[in-house]
Amino acid sequence: MNQPSARPVRTRYAPSPTGPQHIGGIRSALFAWLYARRHGGQFILRIEDTDRKRTVPGSVEMILEAFDWLGIDIDEGPREGGAFGPYVQSERLELYQTWAKWLVENGCAYKCFATAEELAEMRKVGGGYDRRYRDISAAATADLEAQGLPYVIRFKMPLTGVTVGEDLIRGEVEFANEQLQDAVLLKSDGYPTYHLAHIVDDYHMRITHVTRAIEWLPSFPLHIQIWNALGWEKPQFAHLPVLLNPNGKGKLSKRKEQFADADGKSVPVLVHEFMEAGYLPAAVLNFLTNIGWNYGDNEEIFSTAQAIERFELKDVNPANSAYPIAKLDWLNSQYIQRADVAALCQLLKPILEQAGFSVDGARLRRVVPLLQVRLKSLHDVVPMAGFFFADWAAFEAPSPEILIQRKMDREGTADILRGSIPLLRQLESFEAEIQHAAMSEYAKATGYKNGQVFGSLRAAVTGQKVSPPTFETMEVLGKEESIRRIELALRSLGNDCA
């Protein structure tokens, strides 16, 4: 059994730069990061770009943007630098070539000259690569090489016996060696495969804990054998469960950027979709940390700092989880409710501006406390509170359909609005409570119900049926603007205020 020595914890996230950051990858990164932070260790970002065909320009920037947005800080990486760089595999080719050569020289790997046609033939027969170059003589190999034939370097996998791996989440896992192929370590163009490159890097970067998706478990025995052949102390491994589609069927789609959940609502899976959909980074972090790991029984809301105090890889649930996206909306509203007003203003301002409103910062600071309990997503600010920022000179009066409440008619509504104007105007203080008292008295005196008076005023000043509370809203708008809006509403009902 692998008994690792007590080395300072170093974990890494090693994405292939193949496009926008998928939330599944970020979840793996998050677990590696939490573990490093839990143990006072280092978290490293390494870019695995050895599959040139799949490399998409701009991916690294998107990865960094995702990390910055979430607040996952990186200790070493292509941007941060560090003592074990470079942190991009295509800049480390010589190192992989050196170790591939070493493995050949030490009898653990061999040059394979099989052509594409030969390999196609083998595939037709079934059973994969038939190891035909594994045992040819040194002289025959030298001869083929002298002819200038291209070759790959393959690992000599033991043909019999079992390989036992230790997984922090899954315990001991055993594999029959005969099930495994002689995997390619170095391609004919001098680029390594993942199998060689990540081991060489994990060793040279002194990684102590490898956290990666469960898809890599079948290759785990191959990797153990390569580590052994190189004679290096192995890190510990944790093969993480993956996220499944919300219906629990199949791995959470990577290629399809969006797909509908049970309610037909489109589900975000890429980090930039979360950014654009108005989620708070803290809510997304809480959401992701809670998939496959629990902070405590029935403790759904916790900060990253709290998670760091408790996070252990061994506590990760080995089972794959359906993507519980519905929880994110709830969590997000909880985070919005608890957020600091100034921080929220900063997030909401650009959203309102994008929707075409010109935002007065002082007014926004007064509006935010009215909204906090009501916003599920930051973008709800536009339908819910855009009217605060509508240019009142150009404020389009609400239509009679909006103005006339249930069980009310045009005349009654106009009557309420008309009568309220002088009463509001004479108020010395426009505080919500004072307005409330005055309008309740007005309702009593006129025989209208409170709801009819308040609802008509709400519709008049906001132009909507749902909004923050009427009088708090009017307090923020101020006396002059509220009355002006009521006058416009009256006009819309075909009445003048005179």
Residues that bind ligand GLU (CB under 6 A): 14-16, 48, 194, 198, 212, 216
The DSSP code sequence of 238-291 is EEE--EEPTTS-SBPPSSSSEEE-TTS-EEE-BHHHHHHTT--HHHHHHHHHTS
Q: Which residues contact 314 (CB under 8 A, 6 or more apart)?
A: 168, 169
Nearest distance from residue 293's CB to ligand GLU, in Å? 18
Buried b vs exposed e over 124-134: b needs ≥16 C-beta within 10 Å?
A: eeeeebebebe
Closer residue to ligand GLU, CB minimum distance, 155 or 194: 194
Nearer to ligand GLU, 42 or 456 (CB): 42
Annotated catalytic residue, options 156, 251, 254, 376: 254
Burial class (CB in 10 A: 0-12, 13-18, 19+), 470: buried
Distance, CA of 24 to CA of 299 (rounded, Å): 22
Closest distance of CB 195 from ligand GLU, Å: 10
Nearer to ligand GLU, 63 or 477 (CB): 63
Task: Indicate the residue among 15 and 192 with the shorter CB distance to ligand GLU.
Answer: 15
CB of 89 to ligand GLU, least distance (A): 9
Beta carbon of residue 51, minimum distance to ligand GLU (angstroms, whole number): 9
Both structure tokens of 324: 């519980």
Contact of 135 with 109, CB cutoff 8 Å: no
CA Rg value for the chain: 32
Residue with Cβ nearer ligand GLU (219 or 372): 219
The angle at the Cα of 143, spanning 138 to 149, to the nearest 5 degrees, equals 115
Nearer to ligand GLU, 16 or 303 (CB): 16
Q: Would you say how long the chain is, in residues?
A: 498
Question: 76: helix, coil or strand?
Answer: strand
Least gap, CB of 130 to ligand GLU (angstroms): 28
Beta strands in 399-453 (DSSP E): none
Return the H-helix or E-strand segment holding 230: helix 220-230
Q: How far is the CB of 212 from ligand GLU (least distance, A)?
A: 3
Cβ atoms of 151 and 300 within 8 Å: the answer is no
User: Which position has the token pair 């939490």?
Assistant: 34
Question: For residue 45, what is the enclosing H or E element?
Answer: strand 42-45
| HSE value, Cβ hemisphere, 13 Å, CA-based, for 486 | 30
**Is 254 a catalytic site residue?**
yes
Token pair of 233 as six digits: 């102390």
* The two structure tokens encoding residue 457: 């005023």
Q: Which of 473, 457, 474 is nearest to 418 (CA)?
A: 457
Instruction: Give 29 or 367: the residue with its C-beta nearer to ligand GLU.
Output: 29
Q: What is the dihedral of CA 288, 294, 295, 296, to 10 degrees?
A: 150
| DSSP H helices in 71-217 | 93-105, 116-125, 138-146, 194-204
- Decide if 490 contacts 496 (C-beta within 8 A): yes
Q: Residue 153 pairs with which residues in a beta bridge?
A: 111, 186
Which residue is listed with tokens 């249930």?
A: 406
Residue indicated by tokens 């046609």: 117
Measured from the CB of residue 337, what is the shortest distance to ligand GLU in angstroms? 36
48 vs 167 by CB, closer to ligand GLU: 48
Q: Whose Cβ is closer to ligand GLU: residue 216's or residue 227's? A: 216
How far apart are CB 22 and ligand GLU at their closest, in Å?
10
Residue 197 beta carbon to ligand GLU: minimum distance, rounded to whole angstroms: 9
Q: Which residues are catalytic?
A: 254
